[in-house]
Amino acid sequence: MLKLGVNIDHVATVREARHRGRPVGEPDPVEAALASEAAGAHGITAHLREDRRHIQDRDVWRLRESIHTRLNLEMANKEEIVQIALRLKPDIVCIVPENRNEVTTEGGLDVAGHLQALAETTKRINGAGIDVSLFIAPEEKQVVAAFQSGAQFVELHTGSFAEAYDDDSARTKEIQRLVIASNQAHAAGLKVNAGHGLNYKNLNCLYEVPHLVELNIGHSIVSRAITVGMNSAVKEMLVLMANYPEC
């Protein structure tokens, strides 16, 4: 079964637009997480950024105490955040690149270019009993480096696929990149997740990619929830995901 991890970052984005710097505010990302679980989500994803632009420290601690599925903490390879992860003990961390000027994560992690540092962090996090995923572009050198790092998962960046969706030729090219990368990762013994830019429209084309374990989807679900509610938005996505063929 293809699993769904609901990213609640943009629930916090809406809250911070009005309640920045305050200890409480609405909407509550933890409530959104619990509603997602109630609708059948298999896990909750939250990105604790260095600049705390949306998810705050208090959110991840409340999530750890409240949710009943898996907590996936997205994070940069920065010592402050690594220390938080080691104390928080999420079920898995996904190490991603961060750029202070970006609205959302724009590209994959350069694992090949920072292999030693990422391998050291992976060893520390694994030592605390936490799985590690690396958010990478679907490129062979990044898959190889992810395997060398000791990570258990890769999460394939599907942003280029999402952007190419309306162009048949470009979409086909991006799907093939994802297929090749997923096969390479699977052959190396890595588990394969995917995420970024996935929505109710483009999801079906992604089903050509084999070996997927989990999709992490946030913006599209939160956007849909504005009109139909979190419960319905998650259930609608799960119905679409049920069409993914078993490998």
Catalytic residue list contains 196:
yes
Euclidean distance between CA atoms 184 and 203, whole angstroms: 22
* Pair 4, 241: CB distance under 8 Å: yes
Give the active site residue among 10, 42, 54, 74: 74
Active-site residue, selected from the candidate residues 37, 42, 196, 214: 196
Question: Out of 42, 47, 54, 157, which one is annotated catalytic?
Answer: 47
For the question of residue 42 being annotated catalytic, the response is: no
Q: Say which residue the tokens 């259930």 belong to.
A: 235
Residue 155 annotated as catalytic? no
Catalytic residue annotation: 47, 74, 196
